[in-house]
């Protein structure tokens, strides 16, 4: 936790916009306004750049333990910082899976000791994500905020019911990967399980969060449930909003009609959050058909380029989707520029850059965006007053050059 005075920035969050300075003291936003002074506090000259609350990612795969050739907690956290994120929820499909307390404790300890961002583990619903026996949900609960077999749906209804009951009793969220194997149409496959899980949430009183929605029909189901008092939320990924084509990802990219409907739902405020589903893979695994996009570093530029610059949504609405709403779902005091909130901010430039393999701090370079030009380059990321990324350099990876002067 540090103190930092950021001068001369356009301050934008979900609720408004102003121009001036922002002071973080001991890790918390202390003041905002014009001409702030704070003797002895390091100064970061914003030089007219735009400052937003740092992003919160509800859905990423850091592959640690077990597949550090794809990513580990350290490289994942560097990538997150470069992408403007300061808090990341990481999925349970590691090796071994996060189906017992020791694995969640390992993730938390390694993150606390080494990561430059906050890392929040998700526990598995079933042992080994096999969909049969429940994981040690009670043992996991103190270490995780949600339970998910993400990467697979929990097929058996009696197993899903037992999981919803257990999560409700433990006060945790079921983070639902909706995919019914055996149903060839990916949209129906998603909607069927989303409908079931929303109904189970209604039946058990459990909170439910629907992962990577790719079907507009699922948005309707979530709205239906919300209207009946179900504690339901949903997320959509940058790639399902902005990309079409054959690049392999699960769920598959939308066709144009579905993508436009998802975008309308987003514009109308019917989708709660954007989450990256950052899924790094090696080139060999990608060639063998592994689904996923290494997306935590390109999420903001992709959305800024396709949605904000194209006039689809305002920057403040993007801030709600990437910061305020996910922070509320995760339950962390972040996501707004307001006195008393965590001093977590991101500064970016409305400037173009080309996505190349060298761009990535993530070990995963798997993206359909290689060679493309995007706008909205993250310039600095601040976590609780500590500058963790500045002008292309991240704390820990590139020495101490990221530090501000003053």
| Chain residues in the site for ligand DOR (CB under 6 A) | 61, 93, 150-151, 177, 249-250, 277, 279, 291-292
Q: Report, in Å, the least distance between residue 145 CB and ligand DOR.
A: 18
Within 8 A by CB and 6+ apart from 376, the residues are: 300, 301, 303, 304, 305, 308, 309, 348, 349, 350, 351
Q: Which is nearer to ligand DOR, 93 or 204 (CB)?
A: 93
Q: Report, in Å, the least distance between residue 204 CB and ligand DOR.
A: 24
Q: Report, in Å, the least distance between residue 144 CB and ligand DOR.
A: 17
Q: Which is nearer to ligand DOR, 122 or 324 (CB)?
A: 122
Q: Based on the residue annotation, tell me whether 277 is a catalytic residue of this protein.
A: yes
Q: Report, in Å, the least distance between residue 277 CB and ligand DOR.
A: 6
Q: Which is nearer to ligand DOR, 71 or 342 (CB)?
A: 71
Q: Report, in Å, the least distance between residue 278 CB and ligand DOR.
A: 9
Within 8 A by CB and 6+ apart from 267, the residues are: 312, 313, 317
Q: Which of these is catalytic: 64, 197, 277, 342?
A: 277
Closest residue to ligand DOR in the complex (CB) = 292
Q: Which is nearer to ligand DOR, 324 or 369 (CB)?
A: 369
Q: Which is nearer to ligand DOR, 134 or 279 (CB)?
A: 279
Q: Report, in Å, the least distance between residue 249 CB and ligand DOR.
A: 4
Enzyme catalytic residues:
277
């Amino acid at each position: 936790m540090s103190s930092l005075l950021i001068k001369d920035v356009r301050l934008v969050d979900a609720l408004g916009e102003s121009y001036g300075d922002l002071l973080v003291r001991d890790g918390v936003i202390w003041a905002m306004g014009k001409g702030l002074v704070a003797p002895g506090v390091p100064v970061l000259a914003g030089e007219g750049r735009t400052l937003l609350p740092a992003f919160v990612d509800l859905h990423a795969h850091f592959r640690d333990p077990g597949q550090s050739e794809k990513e580990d907690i350290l490289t994942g956290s560097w990538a997150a910082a470069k992408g403007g994120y300061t808090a990341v929820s990481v999925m349970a499909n590691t090796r071994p899976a996060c189906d017992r307390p020791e694995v969640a404790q390992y993730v938390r300890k390694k993150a606390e000791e080494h990561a430059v961002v906050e890392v929040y583990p998700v526990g598995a619903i079933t042992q080994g994500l096999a969909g049969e026996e429940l994981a040690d949900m009670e043992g996991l609960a103190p270490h995780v905020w949600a339970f998910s077999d993400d990467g697979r749906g929990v097929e058996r209804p009696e197993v899903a019911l037992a999981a919803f009951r257990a999560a409700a009793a433990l006060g945790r969220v079921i983070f639902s990967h909706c995919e019914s194997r055996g149903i060839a149409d990916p949209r129906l496959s998603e909607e069927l399980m989303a409908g079931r899980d929303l109904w189970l949430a209604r039946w058990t009183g459990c909170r439910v969060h629907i992962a990577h929605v790719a079907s507009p029909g699922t948005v309707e189901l979530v709205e239906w449930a919300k209207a009946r008092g179900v504690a339901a939320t949903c997320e959509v990924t940058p790639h399902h909003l902005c990309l079409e084509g054959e690049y392999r990802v699960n769920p598959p990219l939308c066709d144009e009609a579905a993508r436009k409907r998802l975008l309308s739902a987003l514009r109308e405020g019917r989708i709660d959050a954007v989450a990256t589903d950052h899924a790094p893979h090696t080139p060999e695994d990608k060639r063998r058909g592994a689904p996923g996009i290494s997306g935590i570093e390109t999420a903001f530029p992709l959305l800024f380029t396709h949605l904000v610059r194209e006039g689809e949504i305002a920057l403040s609405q993007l801030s709600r989707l990437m910061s305020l709403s996910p922070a509320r779902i995760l339950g962390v005091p972040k996501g707004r520029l307001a006195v008393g909130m965590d001093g977590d901010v991101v500064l970016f430039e409305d400037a173009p850059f080309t996505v190349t393999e060298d761009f990535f701090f993530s070990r995963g370079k798997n993206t359909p965006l290689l060679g493309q030009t995007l706008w909205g380059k993250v310039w600095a990321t601040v976590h609780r007053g500590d500058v963790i990324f500045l002008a292309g350099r991240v704390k820990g990876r590139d020495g101490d050059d990221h530090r501000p002067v003053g």
